[in-house]
Amino acid sequence: MSEVACAHSSKLAQQYYLVYQVPIPTAQLVRRVASVMQEYTQSGGVCPFGVSLLVCGWNEGQPYLFQSDPSGAYLAWKATAVGKNYVNGKTSLEKR
């Protein structure tokens, strides 16, 4: 399902660019993709995405990092880790 989420993200970014002639703001892209992920968790007849996403971007001279979980909830981070060994990854990042 991660391919579906990535393809959807690309389509949203392309549609935004075609309308506004500027790249989509990272926060807006994450909000829209997370909304679709949330819909899939509550809709009948479709499977939830079942993936966590890390989305990074650059807007107005600032870096952004967002994490979205399979339920569609998302958070902004300065640094984070996901996956099987995420606890060790986060611990390592906190030490820096």
Per-residue pLDDT of 51-72, as tens digits, reads 888 999 998 899 999 999 888 8
Q: Determine if the pTM surpasses 0.85.
A: no
CATH for 1-95 is: 3.60.20.10
CB neighbours of 56 closer than 8 A, spacing ≥ 6? 26, 63, 64, 65, 66
Q: How far, in Å, CA of 37 to CA of 67, rounded?
A: 13
Q: What is the residue extent of each domain of the chain?
A: 1-95
Q: What is the pLDDT of residue 1?
A: 55
Q: How far, in Å, CA of 37 to CA of 29, rounded?
A: 12
